[in-house]
Structure 1
Amino acid sequence: MKAVHLFIGLLALLAIAGCSDEPSDAGFAGLADEGQEHGFRQPGPGDHISLPEDWGAHPDYRIEWWYLTANLETAEGLPLGLQWTQFRQGLEPRPPGAPAPDATLWPLQSAWMAHGAVSFDGQHWFDERFARGDIGQAGATTAPLQVWLDHWQLSEMAAGRWQLSASGDGWSYDLVLIPGQQVVRHGEQGFSAKTPDGQGSMYFSLTDIAIQGEVVLDGRSYKVAGLGWLDREWSSQFLRSDQRGWDWFALRLDDGSRLMVFQVGDGDGAFRSGTWVDPQGEAHSLGTDEIELAALDYRDIKPGRVPVAWQLDIPAMGLSLRVSAPPGTYWNDGLYPYWESPVSVSGSVDGSGYMELTGYGESAE
């Protein structure tokens, strides 16, 4: 995939994407494309998730992220969607247990990127930030938990309470999060395969984070409350060169169950995987043959044509769902452009959640 990007003000080449100065059509999925993983560890079956340690950074892996989406409501009962994401891209592997480099030498072993977005009343606000690693400008630590890039921060306030704050052009949010206790480990004890060949990532989620706080949009303040879904994922390479990106869904269903589904590629060759958490909290892994996913409707936007309504069936679980984005354009138009929108769910059970679509950068026909 493409080589080194120069970000003004970083005083270094941050090799987050590869070798072109054009945005990646694969979206940020391209961060984990093959060809740049040499020297980094690769997760596999038999690896396990260890908490709280795995909330921190993994410098021996090439790519990781902390990814929050939230379905909130204003005090007037109006829906508001929200995203915060922080990415770390390894440029040089650091063996486990090796000391961190001396920050006074301005090392360049990692680069960081953060995304923030708010969706409300058919409008979408998005911004991104970049930083070089290993000098304190960005990072992730545990005990207490802190993930930051400049003033965009997720930090542990006290046991069981986090604070999240970020701001961009025309928007800001300052939120209190109560993460709860249940951790969903996807795939095989946290190893989530992304291809039939066994490439994959370590992946776990908090599906029911209670959130309240304030969102400011174009100078107007809104008190908000609702639920968030936080994904934690790391790998070194989990996409083949022929895989353009993915379609991902995180859904809270009104019967108390939770559903995460993704597909990599499309059509007959798509690789699908997922996790259904039953109302009692037990997680059930889902394979390609158990998931039926088809686009029903598209929306033509400036970057291209995006599928905004889907039929999602899990016959073994009795689920037949229509997943739909609200009216509007929810395109995160950054270095790695992709679609990120709240969704509503109808069918055998109602619900809400979030949908992420990467690899849709071509012109509409």
Structure 2
Amino acid sequence: MKTQVAIIGGGPSGLLLSQLLHTKGIESIVLERKTKNYVLGRIRAGVLERGFVELMREASASERMDAESYVHDGTQVSFGETMFRIDFDKHAGHPVIVYGQTEVTRDLYEAREKANGKIEFNVEDVVINDAKSDAPYLTYTVDGEDRRLDCDFVAGCDGFHGVSRQTIPTEVRREYEKVYPFGWLGILSETPPVNHELIYSGSERGFALCSMRNENLSRYYIQCSLDDNPEDWSDDAFWDELKRRIPKEAADKLVTGPSIEKSIAPLRSFVTEPMRWGNLFLCGDAAHIVPPTGAKGLNTAASDIHYLYNGLREFYESGSREGINAYSEKALARVWKAERFSWWFSSLMHRFPDQSEFDLKMQIAEIEFLRTNEAAQRAMAENYVGLPY
């Protein structure tokens, strides 16, 4: 087989790139390691920056998102019993929207299927060949059958453990990483959200986040030890601990119920440079990971797709390689700003094992400064709703 752009990874990043290219008449084939149902079964965050929303609209995949999403003009931050609001509309002029990543992925699958887009599932043993040449190609297997896909460009949207980043020689790429000494225990419950906006809560017992998917589906998190297992936490124990970490006014309104999903996610910051090697381009988790504080993971992947899509569009429309040549530099410039925000917000809201009394006082002072200083609130709002591309 032959195509113009081979896309490794059938998650939201790969699907979004494929659909955007389709709107410009550029052919692509998506290779996915798992099944469609497996991809749609993954539970992920649901806060979308304005840039991501506009990309979905440009991809003609936003109809359900525009109809069913929740517009959030702000968020709540608390420490102890003190809670205050960061007003996105006032300080940044834009909201974010809440719309589950699973629903984003479902909409993109529907758009690709409607357009007869080519997606191969259960793909194994992918090898990227001749990425530095003008004629790269992929070899892989499906159900034991060997296949080859020739292309002009390869987009690696296959996550941290995928083949794309590993294809770049170790002497070429440089990796930066910070591993946090705790995780997030999260549950999904068929209960109404405790608040119509997210609550990011710091406390002496650790961090908590109150989030939602819709008016009857809530997502809650508490900071936990990396040694914990989800099975260690009964639903009652989780709810009791959550109530201890959020202000009483929120705890008193909390509606509890059985969890329908429970998991622990580690926190890490990771960036690899460069994000391009020849005609291979890394996107999303293949190139960078952020802690979930501030919901930048999917949104940072979307900014990669923005730069790559426009670079490829420019190449096929005019023959210019300027956009694709600048891809890594442009993408990384924005990635590092998102990494900084996620690192800052994580450092602000969590308790660390080696935290001294002085460190805790500084943390409280920083939160108080954020509560009382409009410039600090503006900086947070601008980063949260998404820096411009």
How high is the TM-score relative to the length of structure 1? 0.25
Q: Which has the higher contact order (CA 8 A, sep 6+)?
A: 2
Name the structure where strand makes up a greater proportion of residues: 1
Name the structure where helix makes up a greater proportion of residues: 2
